[in-house]
Structures are given as C-alpha cells and as structure tokens.
Amino acid sequence: MANHKATKKDTRQAAKRRDRNRYYGKTTRNAVRDLKATESAEYTEKLPNVISMIDKLAKRGIIHKNKAANLKSKLAKKAVVAA
C-alpha cells in the first residue's frame, strides 16, 4: 500500500480515471454493437454519432488511433453496402 501522501492521491486519481475510461469504452462498444444490428435507413443516421464516440476514445488515449481508424473503416464499409 502507498505510504506517501502524493502516492495515495495518485492511486485515487488512477482509479477514477480507470473507471471513467471503462465507462466510455463500454458505452462506445455498446453503441457499435447496436449500430451493427440496425437497418440500413437508421444505420446512416446513427453512424456519425458512433464515429464521433470512437474519435473521442482515440483522443483520450483509451484506444489506439489505428484501432479507431480500423473500426471507423469497417463501419463505413457497411454503410456503403447498406445504401
């Protein structure tokens, strides 16, 4: 266990950040899953919101920028096929 005051604070901050990052990641994964299950008309409407969520994850460092690009690419391909 941490003994220094600053280390205890860092532990608290890390736990807070971890919980927040898990929430954002899980919410985005659920949004992607829900998007994949939608029909073609709704798909194109929901796609920009999900892409925005993915970009925010990459910006925050929760996922790697290349993973974000790959996810967005796959979703965009499905949008072209659905249209």
pTM above 0.75, yes or no: yes
Domain-by-domain residue ranges, the chain? 47-83
Helix (H) or strand (E) holding 51: helix 40-60
Q: Within 13 Å, how many C-alpha atoms sit on residue 73's CB side?
A: 6
- What average pLDDT does this structure show over 13-39? 96
Binning pLDDT at 50, 70 and 90, where does residue 40 land?
confident
Rounded-to-5 percentages of helix, strand, coil across the chain: 85, 0, 15
Cβ(47)–Cβ(34) below 8 Å: no
